[in-house]
Amino acid sequence: GAASAQDLPKLEKKDRYKVGFSQMESNNPWRIAETKSFMDTAESCNWDLIATDAAGSAAKQVADVDSMIAQGIDILFLPPREEKPLIPAVMKAKAAGIPTFLVDRSVDPAVAQAGRDYVAFLGSDFIDQGRRVAEWTLENFKGDKGVIVELEGTTGSSPANDRRKGFDDVMAQHDNMTIVASQSGDFARDLGRQVMETLLQAHPDVNIVYAHNDEMAIGAIQALTLAGRNPGEDVMVVSIDGTRDALQAIIDGKMGVTVESSPFFGPVACNVMERYIAGEDIEPWVQVQDRIFTAENAADHIDEAY
């Protein structure tokens, strides 16, 4: 049936709120910055925060949400590691009458929908991020033919699906650009390095690397350097997030661009919760605006980076 806000559980005004934040993993600076943002927001937003870490396992993340429901949380903030495996967590929270906000990643919209199964998605436009990386690459690539290796994020995650779509759709319109390989590095630095090592052997002529996040871009730079290549000179490395290491790599001339994907969701979550308590209709997608970091401005932003 049609999505209707009446189906969503209400949240009464209270002095303190028991808030669940189910983190998916803590193996990169982005995740750590996001968890810290929730912790830093807790006091000023009257949260008694229950934060868990699923250590990279969707099954554990579902179990973590189960345990938060059993502990009687008032509200759930959930970054679903993958689009399909986390649907049961969303549905269980719904059945328990707990308003749920998806944070930074989404779930399969064919099954679970904002305004019906959960309140809203708080996050970036990943298709647009991929598109903006592609456009920057087209404007700044100096060679005749682009030979592109793509390092994808976690398979089945919304940012991996959408960052791929945004970038690939733009590149498909340019005959001089070919994506010769596209493989998952699970959004992780070390896996990004390993996958890049392997792909370099099959495609030694690569001259553009598009990584779906900065951690994999840094891993790729390590692999390229070890293989005697000069990232920033004979290979253009481009990615997404805006971590400190990526801004430093841009300053050092090893990386071309990173389109921002902000991890600072604590204040966004507090604001949307207050609006929800006040009875406001919440838009299904609370969109985060992202900047772009290049050699022109990386030095201005590195001090505030994570």
User: For ligand GYE, which stretch binds (CB under 6 A), given 23-31, 62-70, 135-143, 192-200?
Assistant: 23-31
Nearer to ligand GYE, 41 or 261 (CB): 261
Q: Which residues contact 285 (CB under 8 A, 6 or more apart)?
A: 114, 120, 121, 123
Output the smallest distance, CB 27 to ligand GYE, in A.
8
Site for ligand GYE in 66-125 (CB under 6 A): 104-105
User: Of 240, 233, 281, nearest to 152 (Cα)?
Assistant: 240
Nearer to ligand GYE, 20 or 153 (CB): 153
Q: Rule CB under 6 A: is residue 245 a binding residue for ligand GYE?
A: no
Q: Residue 56 in 3-state DSSP?
A: coil
Nearer to ligand GYE, 34 or 74 (CB): 34
Q: Which letter does DSSP use for residue 143 in this model? A: S
Q: Rule CB under 6 A: is residue 35 a binding residue for ligand GYE?
A: no
Output the smallest distance, CB 150 to ligand GYE, in A.
15
Whether the CB-CB separation of 144 and 249 falls below 8 Å is answered with: no
User: Rounded CA gap, 58 and 186, in Å?
Assistant: 13
Residues 80, 159, 166, 231: which binds ligand GYE (CB under 6 A)?
Answer: 159
Q: Rule CB under 6 A: is residue 152 a binding residue for ligand GYE?
A: no
User: Of 34, 52, 69, nearest to 268 (Cα)?
Assistant: 34
Whether the CB-CB separation of 219 and 191 falls below 8 Å is answered with: yes
Alpha helices in 150-288 (DSSP H): 158-171, 189-202, 214-226, 244-251, 266-277
Nearer to ligand GYE, 105 or 254 (CB): 105
User: For ligand GYE, which stretch binds (CB under 6 A), given 7-15, 26-34, 251-259, 288-296?
Assistant: 26-34
Tokens of 54: 């699923």
Residues 21, 77, 121, 187: which binds ligand GYE (CB under 6 A)?
Answer: 187
- Residues lying near ligand GYE in the complex (CB under 6 A): 28, 30-31, 104-105, 159, 187, 213, 215, 240-241, 261
